[in-house]
Amino acid sequence: MVTHIGVDTGGTFSDFIRIEDGAPVIHKVLSTPDNPAQAVLEGLEHLCPDLVGVEVVHGSTVATNALLERKGARTALVATRGFEDVLEIGRQTRPHLYDPFVEKLPPLVPGRMRFGVAERLAYDGEVLEPLAPSEIERVVERVRRSGAQSLAVCLLHAYANPVHEAAIAQAAQRLGIPVSVSHQVLPEFREYERCSTTVVNAYLRPVMQRYLQSLSEALRGAKLRVMRSNGGVMSAARAHQEAVHTVLSGPAGGVVGAFRSAREVGYAHVITFDMGGTSTDVSLCEEQPRTTTETIVAGCPVKVPVLDIHTVGAGGGSLATIDAGGALQVGPQSAGADPGPVCYGKGTGLTVTDANLYLGRLHPDGFLGGNMRLDVPRTRAAAADFAGRTGLSPEVLCQGILEVVNANMEGAIRVISVERGHDPREFALVSFGGAGGMHAADLARRLSIPTVLVPAHPGILSAYGMLVSDYVQEYAQTLLVPVAELTRERAEAAFRELEARGRETMQEEGVAPQAIEISRFVDMCYVGQSFELVVPWSDHCSDEFHRRHESRYGYADSTRATQIVNVRIRVVGPAGVAHRPLRMADGNGGGDAHVDTVPMWGEGGWLQTPVYDRQRLQPGQHLPGPALITEYSATTVVPDDFTARIDDYYNLVLQQR
């Protein structure tokens, strides 16, 4: 019997879940930001000392952190002469229009590492200026002398004809460094986005290769798979070749796990709410998780399919400060895993976790199943000191910290719902992450969301989502043709070419040909528009485009000509363990679930609040608020105006009275 282990490395904790014979075993360890593999290996050693025959699915933050901290490889860029600076010129948009002091992040490739070659293709791939062999030799030598550790090649209109890029890539093999070419990374038009995505892939490849190779060696023969940003998985070997597809690796697992858990109990329209130690990730799912190709990570456009996740710097470890105007601010700075919140014993800055503990919303003896006792006296002293500098009582200060962080997270949910034409009242809020359960009911009240669902083991749901994810590859190719001029033969030829690539990739991943599922899509717009919507391919795709345009932007014009910009496929092959909702471990109901009574701060001041051990709760039980529900991986707060119900799958269902 194969043992499957899911691993999610976060900013504060790294989460682990082992599923064998359908039973989950969970574990958490403090993350090691300086060496993420250390925490991964420590947790695996605890769960499964013998890794022979084990399959590990890993959601990694290595690529994300390398971009955020600008600690990727020294990268060179080869571009069509005259277009070397497209990476720096960008779109000339100003996201902070009225900020006179905004500083633009420098490009990943500095000017001295960008090299032009004399060649030119037309938009349809016709060779206007051939690429001479001497020109190839010249630019490859310049790359060698630059000391580059990785190379990105992005030539004008290479998506229509890759002949010149392929020639440079072949010659550059002798340099012994990874080479990323745009016609493989992103064969779509729009030079800036294609160039940026190719450069990000090149910038991250050596970093991911070192990390994954060292981790694979340490795993002593265990099979290693890596979570993709689009909600699928891939082999470790493919992950360092396609490093750009791991920039949202960790959060993707949470969306998959949350949506599958909710759908199993009848909720197909959900907002996933993942509050961890350093950030909060939210995503809106209608019948299935949503993907997008419009993503900016650390100032870099990344135009590959990723789950549509919005992130804010609000987590349990977010630090409370007073800004220059004297207002209370929470985040985006975080105490992280080291030194961590004050209550962990080393931190000195007051955090959201400390505020929850001070207000009685965390049980000091129930954290991580009692394996990590929280320091209450130290937290009280820090809160009193901070409150003394603001003129507030510690209770009002800590409540203010929670109000500020809740407002930040409410804003994030509004971005993905209200601002996109969705009514939050029509969705359920699926709460997970180590800190999510303490804030979910408050957010539901603010947004009039009728139901909060807290799945079993919410603190490790991201790791669980990785285990139930399948192999997923997505391929696209630019066509740029009006719908009225697109023949079925041309469309079929374009799709079949992509599908051949997809089937080859799945076979390399070990997926049986008969198990592969392929879906076809097109990116459409009105002729003259500069943005597209993804629509399932059919003979009536224009009608569906008008409908989706109306839903997204509030208007549609069925008399206006439409255009196919890209054809796109999604290839899926089974990889995850057979899906079954997470339940609490066997042996529920072994004794009274009411284990303690503590004072908890609420609207009416301090209220005596029962504490329940979630492990002992049974389906059908109802718990009126106020209540505190503790378990190994998380704590759930039931305010005094809410009721919690335990359903047949041991989910907590919170609803306002």
Q: Residue 134: helix, strand or coil by DSSP?
A: helix
Same domain, 347 and 477: no
Q: Which H helix or E strand runs over 330?
A: strand 328-334
Beta pairing partners, 57: 6, 225
- The answer for 625, left when phi > 0, alpha when psi is -120 to 50, beta otherwise, is beta
Residue type, 53: G
Same domain, 390 and 426: no
Task: Mark which of 508, 542, 573 sits at the end of a domain.
Answer: 573
Q: Which residue has the tokens 């650390």?
A: 298
- Residue 619 forms part of a structural domain: no
Q: Give the chain's mean pLDDT.
A: 91
CA 62, CA 227: separation in Å to the nearest integer? 12
- Residue 624 forms part of a structural domain: no
Burial status of residue 420 (CB atoms within 10 A of its CB: 0-12, 13-18, 19 or more): middle
Q: What is the mean pLDDT of residues 181-189?
A: 95
Q: What is the pLDDT of residues 149-180, one digit of tens each?
A: 999 999 999 999 999 999 999 999 999 999 99
- The CATH number given to whatever domain includes residue 545 is 3.30.1490
- Residue 165 forms part of a structural domain: yes
How distant is the alpha carbon of residue 391 from its chain centre?
Answer: 39
Same domain, 241 and 288: no
Same domain, 78 and 168: yes
Q: What is the mean pLDDT of residues 361-373?
A: 85
- Residue 299: predicted pLDDT: 86
Q: Please count the other Cβ atoms lying within 10 Å of the Cβ belonging to residue 390.
A: 15
Q: What is the mean pLDDT of residues 188-198?
A: 95
Task: Mark which of 552, 573, 594 sits at the end of a domain.
Answer: 573
Report, in angstroms and rounded to the nearest whole number, the Rg of the chain calculated over CA atoms: 26
Same domain, 281 and 424: yes
CB 14 within 8 A of CB 61: no
Whether the predicted pLDDT of 581 surpasses 70: no
Domain tally for the chain? 5
CA 66, CA 73: separation in Å to the nearest integer? 9
Same domain, 197 and 217: no
- Residue 642 forms part of a structural domain: no
The structure tokens listed for 26 are 């969970």
Q: What is the mean pLDDT of residues 184-191?
A: 93
- Residue 654 forms part of a structural domain: no
Q: What is the pLDDT of residues 26-74, one digit of tens each?
A: 888 888 888 888 999 998 888 888 877 788 999 988 888 888 889 999 9
DSSP 244: G
The structure tokens listed for 233 are 């998985």
How many H helices and E strands in the chain? 16, 34
CA 164, CA 156: separation in Å to the nearest integer? 10
User: Is the alpha carbon torsion for 108, 111, 115, 121 positive or negative?
Assistant: positive
Sequence-ordered alpha helix ranges (H) in 147-177: 163-172
CA 367, CA 386: separation in Å to the nearest integer? 24
Same domain, 365 and 236: no
Q: Which residue has the tokens 């119900």?
A: 645
Q: What is the pLDDT of residues 383-432, one digit of tens each?
A: 999 999 989 999 999 999 999 999 999 999 999 999 988 999 999 999 99
Same domain, 82 and 186: yes
Whether the predicted pLDDT of 7 surpasses 80: yes
- The CATH number given to whatever domain includes residue 31 is 3.30.420.40
CA 208, CA 238: separation in Å to the nearest integer? 10
Whether the predicted pLDDT of 589 surpasses 70: no
Q: Residue 509: helix, strand or coil by DSSP?
A: coil
The structure tokens listed for 449 are 């969301």
- Residue 355 forms part of a structural domain: yes
Residue 512's pLDDT band (boundaries 50, 70, 90)?
very high
Whether the predicted pLDDT of 262 surpasses 70: yes
Whether the predicted pLDDT of 120 surpasses 50: yes
> Side-chain half-sphere of 217: how many Cα atoms within 13 Å?
5
Residue type, 516: I
CA 314, CA 330: separation in Å to the nearest integer? 7
- Residue 587: predicted pLDDT: 46
Q: Residue 592: helix, strand or coil by DSSP?
A: coil
CB 18 within 8 A of CB 55: no
The structure tokens listed for 286 are 């209608």
Predicted structure pTM score: 0.89
Task: Mark which of 550, 573, 596 sits at the end of a domain.
Answer: 573
Percent of the chain with pLDDT over 90: 68
Whether the predicted pLDDT of 584 surpasses 70: no
* Per-position DSSP letters for 91-122, written without gaps between them: T---SSTT-TT--PPPPSS-GGGEEEES-EE-
- The answer for 650, left when phi > 0, alpha when psi is -120 to 50, beta otherwise, is left
Whether the predicted pLDDT of 520 surpasses 70: yes
- Residue 25 forms part of a structural domain: yes
Beta pairing partners, 351: 319
Q: Which residue has the tokens 């719908």?
A: 483
CB 558 within 8 A of CB 515: no
Same domain, 308 and 223: no
| Residues of the domain holding 490 | 471-573
- Residue 648 forms part of a structural domain: no
Beta pairing partners, 612: 594, 629
Q: What is the pLDDT of residues 529-579, one digit of tens each?
A: 988 999 999 988 999 999 999 988 889 999 999 999 999 999 999 886 755
| Closest C-alpha among 59, 292, 86 to residue 198 | 86
Q: Where is pLDDT greater, at 96 or 317?
A: 317
Same domain, 420 and 460: yes
DSSP 351: B
Same domain, 554 and 485: yes
- Residue 122: predicted pLDDT: 95
CA 650, CA 407: separation in Å to the nearest integer? 29
Same domain, 59 and 86: no
